[in-house]
Structure 1
Amino acid sequence: MSAGPRVGFRCDAGAGSGVGHLVRCVALAEELRSRGARPVFLGAVRDSPWALAQLRERVLPLTPAPESPAALAALARALRLDAVVLDSYDLPPGTGEELRRHGLPVLAVVDGDPLGQHADLYLDQNLGAEHRPFPAGPVLAGARYVLLRDSVRRRARAPRRPDRVPDVLCFFGGTDAAGVAPAWAQALGATGVPFTATVISPAPFAAESPITVIPPTDRLPELMAAADLVVTAAGSAIWELLYLGVPTALSWVADNQLIGYDELVGRGVAAGLGGAPGPEAVAVLARLLSDPAAREEHGRRGGGLVDGRGRERVADALLALVR
Structure 2
Amino acid sequence: MPRLALLRCDAAATGGVGHLVRCLAVAEAARAAGWDVGLVGSVDVPLARALVTGAGLPVLADGAEPLEETARRTGARVLHVDHYTAVTPPLPRGGPGEAGYLLSSVQDGRWGRRDADVVLDASPTGHVTASVVDARVRLTGPRQALVRAGVRARLGTRGPTGQVLVVAGGTDAAGILPALAAVATAAVGGSADGLPYEVVVVDPAAAVGGRARHPGAVSRPPGPDLLDQAARSALVVTAAGTTTSELAVMGVPMAVVQAVDNQAETYRDLVASGAALPLGTAAGLLRDRDRLAADLREVLADAGRLAGLAAAAAARVDGAGAARLVAAWDAVWTGRTADGDRGWWVARAAPGDSDLLLAWRNDAQTRAQSITTDPVSPSAHAAWFSGVLADPGRHLLLVGSGAQRVGTVRFDRLGAGAWEVSLTLAPESRGRGLSGTVLSCGEEHLLAHGGGGDRLVARVREGNAASLALFGRAGYRPADARTSAALGGDHPGLRVVVKALA
State TM-score, norm by structure 1: 0.89
* Aligned residue type for 2:204: P
Displacement of 1:304 after TM fit?
3.2
How many pairs were matched up?
A: 312
Contact 1:100/1:119 (CA < 8 Å) preserved in 2?
no
Match of 1:110 among 107, 112, 118: 107
Displacement of 1:190 after TM fit?
2.1
Identity of aligned residues (%): 33
* Aligned residue type for 1:104: Y
Residues 153-232 of structure 1: matches in 2 within 5 Å?
A: 153-158=152-157, 167-191=163-187, 192-193=190-191, 194=195, 195-204=197-206, 205-209=212-216, 211-232=217-238
Deviations 1:165-219 (A, max 9, x none): x52111011111122212211122223042311110101312344x211001211
Question: Take 1:247 and 1:145, find their aligned partners in 2: how far apart are those partners?
Answer: 20
Unmatched runs of 5 consecutive residues or more in structure 2: 207-211, 335-502
Residues 17-96 of structure 1: matches in 2 within 5 Å?
A: 17-46=15-44, 48-67=45-64, 71-92=66-87, 95-96=88-89
Q: What SS does the aligned partner of 1:228 have?
A: strand
**Which structure has the bigger radius of gyration?**
2
Question: Take 1:118 and 1:142, find their aligned partners in 2: how far apart are those partners?
Answer: 18
Question: Take 2:37 and 2:146, find their aligned partners in 1: how far apart are those partners?
Answer: 15
* Aligned residue type for 1:169: L
Question: Take 2:249 and 2:255, find their aligned partners in 1: how far apart are those partners?
Answer: 15
Q: What SS does the aligned partner of 1:44 have?
A: coil
Question: Take 2:174 and 2:23, find their aligned partners in 1: how far apart are those partners?
Answer: 22
Structure with more contact order per residue of length (Cα contacts < 8 Å, sep ≥ 6): 1
Contact 2:91/2:103 (CA < 8 Å) preserved in 1?
no
Q: What SS does the aligned partner of 1:198 have?
A: strand
Q: What SS does the aligned partner of 1:13 have?
A: coil
Aligned equivalent of 2:326: 315
Q: What SS does the aligned partner of 2:31 have?
A: helix
Aligned equivalent of 1:259: 265
Displacement of 1:264 after TM fit?
0.8
Which structure features the higher share of strand residues? Answer: 2
Question: Does residue 1:8 correspond to 2:6, yes or no?
Answer: yes
Question: Take 1:13 and 1:53, find their aligned partners in 2: how far apart are those partners?
Answer: 12
Match of 2:309 among 298, 309, 318: 298
Alpha-carbon distance change, 49 to 73 in structure 1, aligned in 2, over 3 angstroms: same
Aligned equivalent of 2:467: none
Q: What SS does the aligned partner of 1:274 have?
A: strand
Question: Take 2:21 and 2:130, find their aligned partners in 1: how far apart are those partners?
Answer: 26
State TM-score, norm by structure 2: 0.58
Question: Take 1:149 and 1:44, find their aligned partners in 2: how far apart are those partners?
Answer: 21
Question: Take 1:9 and 1:298, find their aligned partners in 2: how far apart are those partners?
Answer: 33
Contact 2:125/2:265 (CA < 8 Å) preserved in 1?
no
Deviations 1:77-110 (A, max 9, x none): 0011101001111235xx2416668442111100
Aligned equivalent of 1:135: 132
Q: What SS does the aligned partner of 2:182 have?
A: helix
Alpha-carbon distance change, 81 to 275 in structure 1, aligned in 2, over 3 angstroms: same
User: What's the RMSD between the two structures over aligned residues?
Assistant: 2.3
Q: What SS does the aligned partner of 1:199 have?
A: strand
Aligned equivalent of 2:402: none
Alpha-carbon distance change, 40 to 158 in structure 1, aligned in 2, over 3 angstroms: closer
Displacement of 1:291 after TM fit?
2.2
